[in-house]
Amino acid sequence: MALNTSGIIGQSTTLAGVFRMLSKVAPTDSTVLVTGESGTGKELLVRALHSNSHRASKPFVPINCGAIPRELLESELFGHEKGAFTHAIRSRPGRFELADGGTVFLDEIGEMDLNLQVKILRVLQEKEIERVGGAGCKKVDVRIVAATNRDLEAEVAAGRFREDLYYRLNVIPLHLPPLRERGGDVLLLAQHFLECFCRKKSRSLLRLAPDTRRVMTAYSWPGNVRELENFMERLSVLVDGDNVALSDLPQKILNQVGDTPDLMPFPREMSVSGPAPLVSREPAESKIPPVFVWPDLAVLESENMNLRDFLDAVESRLIDEALEKVGSVKNQAAELLGIKRTTLIEKLKKRNL
């Protein structure tokens, strides 16, 4: 069955690893623990897990363990019998019962208190629940998927999370990398959100100016995809005209990255004879890490190049760098480039024509 990634956008290799895991894990009934910083898309991933499973036509029942007061969480999860506590005027099923046949998503599991953790462990092991104030157990058929942005191992070490539950949940760990480790996905997502918001607001499509794109790629996005999404919505409301210029970026981003357009010389100084490096080696400010910037069609357009010119220019540059590094010893340069010596010689000949 083809994997339906349910609106999860991204082409980075880090995310491709997540999709690979997802396609293997989704059809099984194994318990999955999704980790990742806030805003990395954990909920989106869990929904994709459910919709790619054989439980897809059954309920998906999310519960945010951090948002429901402790005293209520147990009855919310397991239900209660009439008279179990003061306001229990009638019996009520809990989310586990409502999810029968489907998936229960325990979001922010790191916030759950230790007493309730024991009861979750029991559901995982015995596949049965007991309503609050109830006299007996009831079998439930649910898959449990949990998520957290806490370091659960550290929580275990600090005595705030049960070790046995941690291991029982962590059968299949799925980690979502932060946005800053997803390279070109920043711009891909930005474009996607901009299109959505501009369409929703019936305004003409906004384009990100090259400098804006460079700065956005260099920024660390501490709030991850959620921060990027909210930011694109703000732009769709506030920017007049069709172009998002550097000056439209909030101070928070400019302060961190610096607003020097030369920050990443690519593609500004690019020419067929020698494009600027794709990786900036000398950032304008030393605190800025080197940044890889994926080229896009706008680059070809602005440099008046076609794909062939572009690829030749990049290749040429890497070959020169390799030759320089090894004092022009061709077999060593070829090794650095991961190509055969004869291929390198061929390429050099072609270039000199």
Residues of this chain that interact with ligand ATP (CB under 6 A) are 7-10, 36, 38-44, 149, 189, 225-226, 229
Nearer of residues 43 and 97 to ligand ATP, judged by Cβ = 43
With contacts defined by CB under 5 A, how many residues of the chain interact with Mg ion?
A: 1
H-helix or E-strand spanning residue 244: strand 243-244
Q: Which two tokens stand for residue 176?
A: 């979502």
Residue closest to ligand ATP when measured from CB atoms: 41
Contact status: 37 vs Mg ion (CB under 5 A):
no
DSSP 132-161: BT-SS-EE---EEEEEESS-HHHHHHTTSS
Shortest distance, position 208 Cβ to ligand ATP, whole Å:
17
CB 174 within 8 A of CB 20: no
Shortest distance, position 39 Cβ to Mg ion, whole Å:
8
Shortest distance, position 95 Cβ to Mg ion, whole Å:
16
DSSP 68-134: S-HHHHHHHHHEE-TTSSTT--S-EE-HHHHTTTSEEEEETGGGS-HHHHHHHHHHHHH-EE--BT-
Nearer of residues 226 and 330 to ligand ATP, judged by Cβ = 226
SS3 assignment, position 303: helix
**3-state percent breakdown (helix, strand, coil) of the chain, nearest 5:** 45, 10, 40
Which partner in Mg ion, ligand ATP, none is near 283 (CB below 5 to 8 A by kind)?
Answer: none
Shortest distance, position 100 Cβ to Mg ion, whole Å:
24
b/e per residue 221-246 (b: at least 16 CB within 10 A): bebbbebbbebbbebbeebeeeebeb
Nearer of residues 110 and 275 to ligand ATP, judged by Cβ = 110
Which partner in Mg ion, ligand ATP, none is near 39 (CB below 5 to 8 A by kind)?
Answer: ligand ATP
Contact stretch for Mg ion (CB under 5 A) within 37-45, 244-252, 273-281, 283-291: 37-45
Shortest distance, position 223 Cβ to Mg ion, whole Å:
12
Which partner in ligand ATP, Mg ion, none is near 40 (CB below 5 to 8 A by kind)?
Answer: ligand ATP
Which partner in Mg ion, ligand ATP, none is near 9 (CB below 5 to 8 A by kind)?
Answer: ligand ATP
Q: At what angle do helices 341-352 and 330-337 cross, to 10 degrees?
A: 100
Cα distances (Å, whole numbers) of residue 205 to 232, 243, 247, 349: 12, 9, 18, 46
Nearer of residues 43 and 81 to ligand ATP, judged by Cβ = 43
Closest residue by Cα to residue 105 from 92, 95, 94:
95
CB 214 within 8 A of CB 206: no
CB 50 within 8 A of CB 95: no
Nearer of residues 37 and 43 to Mg ion, judged by Cβ = 43
Nearer of residues 177 and 267 to ligand ATP, judged by Cβ = 177
Which partner in Mg ion, ligand ATP, none is near 206 (CB below 5 to 8 A by kind)?
Answer: none
Nearer of residues 48 and 323 to ligand ATP, judged by Cβ = 48
Binding positions for Mg ion, 39-58, rule CB under 5 A: 43
Q: In the complex, which residues of this chain contact Mg ion (CB under 5 A)?
A: 43
